Amino acid sequence: MQSSTSQFEPGQRVHFSGDPRRVGTVKYVGPVQGYEGTWVGVDWDNGEGKHDGSVNGVRYFHANSDRSGSLVRPPNLSPGVSLLKALHSRYRAESNQEENDEMYVLSASNRRVSVQLVGRDKIQEKLGQLEEMKGASLAFGGVSSVGNIDGVVPNLQELDMTGNLLSDWKDIAILCEQLPALTVLNLSYNLMKANIPELPQLKHLRILVLNNTGMKWTHVYLLKGSLPLIEELHLMGNKISEINPTKSFAVEGFDSLRLLNLEDNSIAEWDEILKLCQLKSLEQLHLNKNCLKRIFYPDDDILHEKFVQESFTPFQNLRCLLLGGNLIEDVASVDSFNFFPQLVDVRLSENPVTDPGRGGIPRFVQVARLAKVQVLNGSEVSPRERKESEIRYVRLVMSKCTGNPEEARRIHPRFAELKQLHGIEDERPSIGSTGPQKMASGLISVTLKCVGPSIGEKPQQTKKLPATTTVGKLKLLCENFFKLKSIRPKLFLEEEGSPLPVLLDDEMASLLDLGIGNGSVILVDEES
């Protein structure tokens, strides 16, 4: 596409001619020292440029990174197309002779044999009936303006505008006004302007996706009045670090909001998330890949200190809280989930507190400490897993807090409750003239399964072992059980509901210390 210089101005969104996925922002239009003609300085979204806006010691613009900028001749850039043109191009374009020639298979003699797609005409005819279309995707279509589409797609309910050149909220208002049936709009990877004018109410919009658009919470709050019935709001990848209500500590409004997605942002303080606790319809809160270190449920003192409104239940309808990939370290944060009144779905994977390799707690301890959780890290917690996890957990606590019930109650809030629930008595060894009695009561039945490639196929073995058997001792036993010569075993505990087995790397820890109970499966691998 041949583009004149007058088509470009600083701040404009453009894409590279012939490649609508390579999108950037114009930062400079003018001459370049040592070269003829006019150049356009572009800061590319994907960071794949040549410099930072400075060439041969002369600065023309400031790019976002050292190599995200480049100077381009105007004919190599496109200012984009209208929404109407993009719709016609994608859904009404007829195949040309070149495309038809490309439809072939190779024969046994390596000759091209033309093929015809059965039903192709009907498919094209159906796609071409824009007035009946209910969903459309114009992702990376180079759309820079809306134009007049009134009545063109009157039944369109879902529109994907990912990676286009839209930036002005006035265009979005026009878009929604001309699409009266639109309920789902995806504007991801459109760099939206920060100055948001007063917009009309977008009454039909239920789901708005603004991932990687540069939107901060202050901008979102300006949209609040225009989104009276919004149910899902997605704000991933916007470097949000603060939730900034304009008038009070807590976020108000958004009465219909059920799902708020703040994944892959920069939120470090749980106090910021507490500002959302009065959203009465909020059921799902996605906070994966932030920087949170601590979670807590607000008590009465915090509520009186921070909130004007009295007598309300924080996060009253929250059922799903995703916190994977944060920096949570303390077990108290895990215990705090028990105070959320409706919470049943939690994600804690990829946090220090749940990584046994970094001193975190394994899955069975998480299940036992979380009384109401039905789904943990995307995996359903079955009644059987819950019962076995809670029994293992109680026995683990008993082994570690022997003779110190006060410590057990302080560090393990559910210990007494679970001990009573499962009828687990304190162990009182009976010592007679022949030594300790009922030795079998201290034996644990475990299944050992070889998985090491050099070990070969060996039938699994089920053994009854003393609960005091250490990991180091079990390795020696495995060498004997499976006749392993010159192979150093490496042991893993296979847990129900856990996607990966847990490495048993503390050779001094006993089976009891690790919470390994009857029916546990231990994988025997080999040291690399």
pLDDT in tens, 260-296: 999 999 999 999 999 999 999 999 999 999 999 999 9
pLDDT number for residue 190: 96
- 432 within domain boundaries: no
pLDDT number for residue 246: 65
Last residue of some domain: 352, 368, 387?
A: 387
Residues 240 and 347 in one domain: yes
Instruction: Return the structure tokens found at 204.
Output: 């039909």
- 393 within domain boundaries: no
pLDDT number for residue 277: 93
Residues 355 and 246 in one domain: yes
- 164 within domain boundaries: yes
Instruction: Look at the chain and report how many structural domains it folds into.
Output: 3
Q: Go through 359-397 and write b for each residue having 16 or more CB atoms within 10 A of its CB, e for each that does not.
A: ebbbbbbbbbbbeebeebbeeebeeebbebbbbbbbbbb
Using CA atoms, how far apart are residues 41 and 52, in angstroms rounded to an integer?
10
Residues 335 and 214 in one domain: yes
Residues 57 and 197 in one domain: no
- 302 within domain boundaries: yes
- 435 within domain boundaries: no
Residues 137 and 239 in one domain: yes
pLDDT number for residue 91: 87
pLDDT number for residue 125: 52
Last residue of some domain: 387, 407, 435?
A: 387
Residues 496 and 458 in one domain: yes
Give residue 161's identity as a one-letter amino acid code.
Answer: M
Q: Which domain holds residue 36?
A: 12-78
Mean pLDDT by 10 residues, the chain (528 residues): 67 93 94 93 94 94 94 95 92 58 58 56 55 92 92 93 94 92 96 85 93 94 90 97 81 93 97 94 98 92 69 92 97 96 97 88 94 96 92 85 75 91 70 41 85 86 91 92 88 81 86 81 89
Please name which of 407, 480, 401 lies closest in space to residue 448, comparing C-alpha atoms: 480
- 107 within domain boundaries: no
Own/partner long-range contacts of 362-367 (Cβ < 8 Å, ≥24 apart): 362/493, 362/495, 362/498, 362/502, 362/515, 363/389, 363/495, 363/497, 363/498, 363/502, 364/388, 364/389, 364/392, 364/393, 364/495, 364/515, 365/389, 365/393, 365/396, 365/515, 366/334, 367/497
Q: What is the CATH number of the domain that holds 232?
A: 3.80.10.10
- 304 within domain boundaries: yes
Please name which of 362, 274, 355 lies closest in space to residue 321, comparing C-alpha atoms: 274
Q: What is the CATH number of the domain that holds 40?
A: 2.30.30.190
Residues 38 and 86 in one domain: no
What are residue 81's DSSP bridge partners?
143
Residues 378 and 448 in one domain: no
Residues 360 and 237 in one domain: yes
pLDDT number for residue 428: 53
Residues 292 and 367 in one domain: yes
Q: What is the CATH number of the domain that holds 455?
A: 3.10.20.90
pLDDT number for residue 4: 53
Phi, psi of 336 (to 5 degrees): -65, -20
pLDDT number for residue 432: 42
Using CA atoms, how far apart are residues 424 and 391, in angstroms rounded to an integer?
8
- Consecutive H or E run containing 78: strand 77-78
Last residue of some domain: 387, 412, 430?
A: 387
pLDDT above 70 coverage of the chain, percent: 88
- 5 within domain boundaries: no
pLDDT number for residue 434: 40
pLDDT number for residue 440: 41
pLDDT number for residue 6: 65
* Reported pTM: 0.81
Q: If you search the block for the tokens 């703040």, which residue do you land on?
A: 262
Residues 71 and 128 in one domain: no
Residues 259 and 319 in one domain: yes
